[in-house]
Amino acid sequence: MKQALPPELKDVQTAARRALSPVKPAGPKTRAHKSFPFNAKRTDAGRALPPYYLVYFLLVDLLGFEHSGKFEKVAWSVPIDFDGQAFLIEHRKLGLGVFAHNPKKEEDAAKEIVVRIHKAVKVARPFFDWLAEQAVHHSHVNVINNSSDLFERYRYFLDAYRQKTNEYIRRKDERLVQKGTSEFGTWQTISFPAFLLNKEAKWLALAAVEAFFNWTEQAFIHLAILNGELTQAIAVASLAEADWADKYKAALNLTDLEAKKFYDKLVAIRKELRNYVAHGAFGKEGEAFTFHSGAGAVPVLLPHRTGSRKFRLGEGLDFHTDAAIEVIEDFISYLWSASRAPAEVYIQNSSLPIILTLAADGTYERAMNSIESMTELVDRLTHQFDNAANMDW
């Protein structure tokens, strides 16, 4: 249902109509060829229009222009009048455009129409902001789903880490010897490739851990929506700004002993590895310091202070990589197990956005009952999205 324009935007409406003039809705006195609009052709000037949604909001929602609605390969078509001549503003499969009966003769007019629309769009910005605020307030929004791409990034670094580690193991005893002579005599250098390979493997492990937490920041929010914990856009926005721990708790119930066990381990990894690097390898507990002593320079973070910190950092960027990766891999298996298995179908195996109206009306909650139900929903929504993209109405 179209919402009434608030009084404070009436001046914006008037200013936009003035900026658009002499463009106006087509009427009985508008000159048009008898076969127009069926033979209307795209003008070159129309390719420079603002984004299609801004043009639609301007013409239809703000200024009340009539539009013909959907038909094959066309999302909407607005007939307009420019100096008495008929044109169409249409959003077709191949893009938004200004369409005319004879583009060669009417190209200059189309250019002027585009200029006027750009001016009116600029004036109408407060209206666009209001529309967006209303959509968020009523939760008429989709939440973008990038989980699959983010998870692929994690897998990429993890695979690279494993490959580099295997190469390190294969070459750990290798020595490269170079010999030569100079005016000072003979010389020889010895290098060990495994040293650099091991360092690079640890870099890749750090990148994998970073990518894992980056992925969970989004996956947890989507899972909370599918579980029915979040149904309002404002709540989703608030959780997006919250700490990782809050996102975990929204997606998983800590009264579940397994969920609590993984939470404790992942928090330790996040603190000891991810946050250490995020703070420029200084850490927050003196990891960057060594103190003076009779034994020489000694790390401030002595063993007696690390306690049970299984994932603690050692010298440089050294850490218990295998233990951290093992926890992460076990957690991923746990995350998509039992009652959460249907969520993987939607979050990881499709690129569909999360539609909050479907969260509010219980559609997702019902689909979470089984993998089959979620697969059926994903197939149906994918078909609808594909049809919309192809404008097959």
- Per DSSP, the residues of 260-301 read HHHHHHHHHHIIIIIHHHHTTT--SSSTT-EE--TTSSEESS
Q: Among 89-93, 94-98, 251-255, 282-286, which stretch is predicted with the lowest mean pLDDT? A: 282-286
Q: Read off the pLDDT of each residue in 82-95 and give the average, rounded to a whole number.
A: 93
Q: Can you read off the two tokens belonging to residue 93? A: 């499969």
Q: What is the pLDDT of residue 163?
A: 97
Averaged confidence pLDDT in the chain? 88
Q: Read off the pLDDT of each residue in 44-64 and give the average, rounded to a whole number.
A: 96
Model confidence at 216, pLDDT cuts 50, 70, 90, reads very high
Model confidence at 151, pLDDT cuts 50, 70, 90, reads very high
Q: What is the pLDDT of residue 302?
A: 47
Q: What is the pLDDT of residue 313?
A: 38
Q: Read off the pLDDT of each residue in 176-189 and give the average, rounded to a whole number.
A: 84
Predicted TM-score (pTM) of the model is 0.78
Domain range list for the chain: 7-137, 143-172+198-390
Model confidence at 374, pLDDT cuts 50, 70, 90, reads very high
Would the pLDDT of 310 be above 50?
Answer: no
Residue 54 burial (C-beta neighbours within 10 Å; 0-12, 13-18, 19+): buried
Q: Read off the pLDDT of each residue in 260-282 and give the average, rounded to a whole number.
A: 77
Model confidence at 62, pLDDT cuts 50, 70, 90, reads very high
Q: How far is CA 23 from CA 61, 65, 75, 361, in A?
A: 16, 11, 21, 42
Would the pLDDT of 173 be above 60?
Answer: yes
Kindly report, residue by residue over 4-20, the tens digit of the pLDDT. 888 999 999 999 999 99
